[in-house]
Structure 1
Amino acid sequence: MPKGEGKQVAQNKKANHDYFIEETYEAGIVLQGTEIKAIRAGRLNLKDAFARIERGELFLHNMHISPYEQGNRYNHDPLRTRKLLLHRKQINQLIGETKEEGYTIVPLKVYLKNGFAKVLIGLGKGKKNFDKRETLKKKDANREIERALRERQKM
């Protein structure tokens, strides 16, 4: 199964707007108690999430997983820092690439694969404002081309 395949639970739409994604990695997440049930219910938010390498391990910060309704006292802290599972070789590669200025590790989407929650993380380089405008112009131009082609096919 290729990277990013499975039942998609959440997507970080702002990531492609704010970063040029150069490389992607599939990582597992270390979860507690009722977190997987909340993820299966789709109760998570990746909007402000980011990943950071600390002490040779990869951690995901600011990913909000809402408390599970039937979890009572077994519920978790919604914004806790979660460890990501990657091979040592991949972590070393990320350490080298994030040392360059302007590069960061951004979670792109969360999905379920074979019953496990996975995160697709990307190595991103920040876009400047003129880059964002250029991307929007290209997107609008492609939308106009598609619209014109659909109109032509109707005739």
Structure 2
Amino acid sequence: MRCPTAEDGPAVTALIAASPPLDPNSAYCNLLQCSDFADTCVLAERDGQAVGWISGYRPPSHPERLFVWQVAVAASARGEGLAGRMLDALLTRPAVRGATTLTTTITEDNAASWALFTAFARRHGAQLSKSPRFERDAHFAGAHDTEWQASIAPLPSAQS
């Protein structure tokens, strides 16, 4: 597991495209994540192939938070606990130091993501709370399901 580089952009784009129900980002968005936000992203490789990806950032208006945007695991690596290990690895990054809360958004029907973040919270002795962040009608004009914000706190580094 490592920080991505701009050269990883195409592999990240392909991995996200192969990981529904993730929203496909533009290749340019993925390049920005792999370069400007590399310190808060994780790329997992096996035999030179991208098999896992986490994109995240520290929101400027809430620097105490780490927002996890997307988690993708290649079909060939599913069922191995890779997503949880990538989240744990992300917490060890210097760029995450001082964050007290991990936030993410998840649609109600995304059972895999709810299971991942619930297990993460449990593993780290943290609480997970849930509230609507971007609503179907108010924010997506009915074209996308409500995105629920999952907030997990306190993060392990905040407990020491």
**Would you say same fold, with TM above 0.5?**
no
Identify the structure with bigger relative contact order (alpha carbons < 8 Å, sequence gap 6+): 1
TM-score normalised to structure 2 length: 0.29
TM-score normalised to structure 1 length: 0.30
More strand by share: 1
